Structure 1
Amino acid sequence: MAIPEICNAEKMIGSELLYLDAVGFQEKKRPLLKVDTLEELKPKKGSSFKQIVVALAANVGTMNTGLVFGYSAVSLPQLQAKGSRLLINRHQASWIASVSTIGTPCGCILSGYLTDLVGRKKTLLFTQLPAIIGWIMIGSATSVEWIYVGRFLAGLSSGMIGAPSRVYTCEVSQPHLRGVLSGFASVGTSLGVMLEYLAGSILDWYTLAYFNALLSTTALCAAFFIPESPSWLISSQKDEKRCKASLKRVRDSTCDVDVEVNNLVTFSENNTKLSAKKKLKMICQASTVKPFLILTTYFILSQYSGLNVVTFYAVDIIKDSGSTLDKYVATILLGVIRLLFTVIGCMLMWRFGRKTLSYVSSIGCGLSMVCFGGYMVQHDIWKSQGITPRATWVPVMNLSTFYAASTIGYLIVPWVMIGEVYPNQVRGVVGGLTTCVGHFSLFVVLQTYPIFQEHFTKPGTFFIYGVVALSSTLFIYLYLPETKGKSLQEIEESFVKKKKPDIGNKVVVPDIVNNLPKAAPNVVV
């Protein structure tokens, strides 16, 4: 049965509305009154509660990323302590800390392929299997090689979860909730870091690994109960029935699901499934290349603002700063601040959008890093002169400010936009590549941090991070698009919108008239 095309508008030239008949596309004319605005045909807001629950279930697995980040910080001191069940040296400890970052980019690429091939839900289920196996291997390890493999698998899972969780959340949520719900992935990561710091202060390293495996199993079970992405069901499966059923599960009875399905069908018909060659061609088009360059640059700038250096080297940084606060207590405090401001950032994104929060991060991180480096210089001067350091609370305050500012924008915005800015047909693949770049930039920054300290001194390193953060403000102003309140179709079209010609005093004909369907010679019903 054919689906009639409906032209939705409040006013037209001549105050007439053309209704299209499904059989003959016959024109019917009558005056268009204000009451005939066809508001009933516009998608209504669905149940916020249902969308929140589905988004939560899809993002439980993102906690594994935080678990991977935090595990080395709390487990390495235990593994290096005398009497450890498995004693390691400093060289082995560095590999345990970094090997997960090798698996993460691999997971990003793999999940990007699977997200489009088998669907969002199945990919979310599959991502938890390497994490469960990896954490169990670490917990039962009898040699350091087992820990290497387990950390690699956990990192692989961490990379795999990034793109599908965000893409899925964007596709099942409506525009008024999408910004908040897409931030759940960042909340999950921050929650994982905090849980790892807290649990690591109580549990030994192998029991902590089993605890992590239990959380990954919980994420696997949660993903079983979510519906498949309606956008994927239409674009890849052409299954309107399942698409409608999926939408009903994440909306409510007051939401006009039929119109939303019709919109997805119409959009999909204009974006038919592509072969590998055509998909590669689409990846090279402006609608994909432009947002890819914007997001990858965003990731690089945010990482070289010191974003995750503080997370991975928190204990050493606090110790070198001259603060008198216990370094482990300070680490837990930073974990709590990260979680708190991740939640606050998601709420602020709903109100202020992506660019505003990015400004907060770039300016806040820049100033706090410069001040932190300045205090370290002054601390070294006091130390060389034999003077007791003063205001030892300043470095912790600077780091807390840095954590709060970076979390609000840097840790949320680019990950949310991965699920927003790419064309539907290549969203999974390019989203995975973008996530890969994000994690690879993390690996590079972590590897270059000791090199920077050696060549530019410790205070100089933080000065560099501060300057990069401040300079990224200009990039955000010039290139970062604002996606708040826009549909995914509107965002995609914004990257290929052509400049309108100068029409001078010519008569302007509304786009809605030009876009009216032309009579077709043969209509199949």
Structure 2
Amino acid sequence: MLFSGKFAIEFYAVDIFIKAGGHIDKYASAVIIAIIQLVGSLLFIPLVRVCSRKLLIISSSFIMSSALVVLGCSMYAQVEDSLMSDMAGLDWIPLLSVVVYMVAAPLGLCSIPFMYVAEFYPAELRSLLGGMTIAISNIELFLVVKTFPNLEESIGDHGVFWLYAGACFLAIFFTFSYIPETKDKSLMQVEGKFDRLRSTARASPWVTPLPSPSVSSVRKLQVQTLMFTQ
């Protein structure tokens, strides 16, 4: 999610919007970009209720990567004489690519990973690992935003967008290979997906004063209750 460039493009959105061919005032550009992001966020609310998590991530990543590839080609055509030079005079192509990218980002790839923080971690370590995940993601966010101007200077605008497009394609592969589907499944069912990765005796290096009940303890309590009623 972070290396797809969403937050870097969001931070430098006005400059990218102008480079892409927008001739609107920079303040008006910021308002338009905020409205575009709001539209994508509003579309996510009904979609997440009817579509599977994996489908949303894969579809969002594919649309984002395609938009970035087209945007990179448009930027490349502006600085290099090539077979794509005909695209340099079509200002609407890079603008449309930016709009499509920013609408597609909150539809899956840049929204659902935050839901997985609550769904994937075991109950007894959810608070600790969730905090660590957010901390690491903020460090990665800083790196992505900080390196964006340096990447622009070294490989050009088009190279940066193609690099981010590659990260989106990797997100598709990773989702296909490793991410389980969690829609309409309880937390106990989701934790069961990872049972084969666990050792028989689970131990935590951190001891919390009020540990959360684990799924295994809940199951044990249910079995004991059933035996008592019988």
Q: Is the 8 A contact 1:322 1:379 kept in 2?
A: no
Once residues 483 and 404 of structure 1 are traced to their aligned partners in structure 2, the CA distance between those partners, rounded to angstroms, is 24
Deviation track 1:486-520 (CA, whole Å, cap 9, x = no partner) reads 1112212221148xxxxxxxxxxxxxxxx965998
Once residues 453 and 363 of structure 1 are traced to their aligned partners in structure 2, the CA distance between those partners, rounded to angstroms, is 23
Once residues 317 and 476 of structure 1 are traced to their aligned partners in structure 2, the CA distance between those partners, rounded to angstroms, is 29
Matched, 1:409 2:105: no
Deviation track 1:96-116 (CA, whole Å, cap 9, x = no partner) reads xxxxxxxxxxxxxxxxxxxxx
Once residues 154 and 79 of structure 2 are traced to their aligned partners in structure 1, the CA distance between those partners, rounded to angstroms, is 17
Match of 1:443 in 2: 142
Q: 1:426: Cα distance to partner?
A: 1.4
Match of 2:67 in 1: 368
Code of the residue aligned with 2:181 in structure 1: it is: E
Q: 1:323: Cα distance to partner?
A: 3.0
Unaligned regions of 5+ residues in structure 2, if any?
Answer: 198-221
Q: 1:478: Cα distance to partner?
A: 0.5
Match of 2:6 in 1: 307
Code of the residue aligned with 1:395 in structure 2: it is: P
Code of the residue aligned with 2:9 in structure 1: it is: V
> Relative to structure 1, is the Cα distance of residues 320 and 373 closer, same or farther in structure 2, using a 3 angstrom cutoff?
same
Q: Which of these residues, 358, 361, 378, is aligned with residue 57 of structure 2?
A: 358
> Relative to structure 1, is the Cα distance of residues 327 and 372 closer, same or farther in structure 2, using a 3 angstrom cutoff?
farther
Q: Is the 8 A contact 1:345 1:357 kept in 2?
A: no
Code of the residue aligned with 1:380 in structure 2: it is: V
Once residues 226 and 48 of structure 2 are traced to their aligned partners in structure 1, the CA distance between those partners, rounded to angstroms, is 44
Deviation track 1:352-386 (CA, whole Å, cap 9, x = no partner) reads 1210110122111111111101101112248xxxx
Match of 2:181 in 1: 482
Q: Is the 8 A contact 2:21 2:95 kept in 1?
A: no
Match of 1:326 in 2: 25
Match of 1:394 in 2: 93
Q: 1:452: Cα distance to partner?
A: 1.1
Once residues 225 and 160 of structure 2 are traced to their aligned partners in structure 1, the CA distance between those partners, rounded to angstroms, is 63
Once residues 6 and 109 of structure 2 are traced to their aligned partners in structure 1, the CA distance between those partners, rounded to angstroms, is 8
Once residues 25 and 225 of structure 2 are traced to their aligned partners in structure 1, the CA distance between those partners, rounded to angstroms, is 73
**SS of aligned partner of 2:5:** coil
Indicate the structure (1 or 2) with the bigger Cα radius of gyration. Answer: 1
Q: How many aligned residue pairs are there?
A: 200
Q: Which of these residues, 160, 166, 172, is aligned with residue 461 of structure 1?
A: 160
Deviation track 1:106-143 (CA, whole Å, cap 9, x = no partner) reads xxxxxxxxxxxxxxxxxxxxxxxxxxxxxxxxxxxxxx
Q: Relative contact order (C-alpha < 8 Å, sep 6+): which is higher?
A: 2
Match of 1:269 in 2: none
Unaligned regions of 5+ residues in structure 1, if any?
Answer: 1-301, 499-514
Code of the residue aligned with 2:95 in structure 1: it is: V
Q: 1:311: Cα distance to partner?
A: 0.8
Once residues 426 and 468 of structure 1 are traced to their aligned partners in structure 2, the CA distance between those partners, rounded to angstroms, is 29
Deviation track 1:432-472 (CA, whole Å, cap 9, x = no partner) reads 11111222211110111122112211211111111221232
Q: Is the 8 A contact 1:324 1:393 kept in 2?
A: no
Matched, 1:335 2:31: no
TM-score by length of structure 1 reads: 0.36
Deviation track 1:46-105 (CA, whole Å, cap 9, x = no partner) reads xxxxxxxxxxxxxxxxxxxxxxxxxxxxxxxxxxxxxxxxxxxxxxxxxxxxxxxxxxxx
Matched, 1:470 2:146: no
Code of the residue aligned with 2:19 in structure 1: it is: D
Once residues 225 and 49 of structure 2 are traced to their aligned partners in structure 1, the CA distance between those partners, rounded to angstroms, is 40
Once residues 341 and 308 of structure 1 are traced to their aligned partners in structure 2, the CA distance between those partners, rounded to angstroms, is 15
Q: Is the 8 A contact 1:364 1:402 kept in 2?
A: yes
The percentage of aligned residue pairs carrying the same residue is: 28
User: Root-mean-square deviation (CA), in Å?
Assistant: 2.5
Q: Is the 8 A contact 2:180 2:193 kept in 1?
A: no
Deviation track 1:382-405 (CA, whole Å, cap 9, x = no partner) reads 8xxxx9x52212222111100111
Code of the residue aligned with 1:426 in structure 2: it is: L
> Relative to structure 1, is the Cα distance of residues 395 and 425 closer, same or farther in structure 2, using a 3 angstrom cutoff?
same
Q: 1:320: Cα distance to partner?
A: 2.4
Q: Is the 8 A contact 1:324 1:392 kept in 2?
A: no
Once residues 516 and 485 of structure 1 are traced to their aligned partners in structure 2, the CA distance between those partners, rounded to angstroms, is 24
**SS of aligned partner of 1:481:** coil
Once residues 347 and 464 of structure 1 are traced to their aligned partners in structure 2, the CA distance between those partners, rounded to angstroms, is 31
TM-score by length of structure 2 reads: 0.79
Matched, 1:377 2:76: yes
Matched, 1:496 2:195: yes
Code of the residue aligned with 1:313 in structure 2: it is: Y
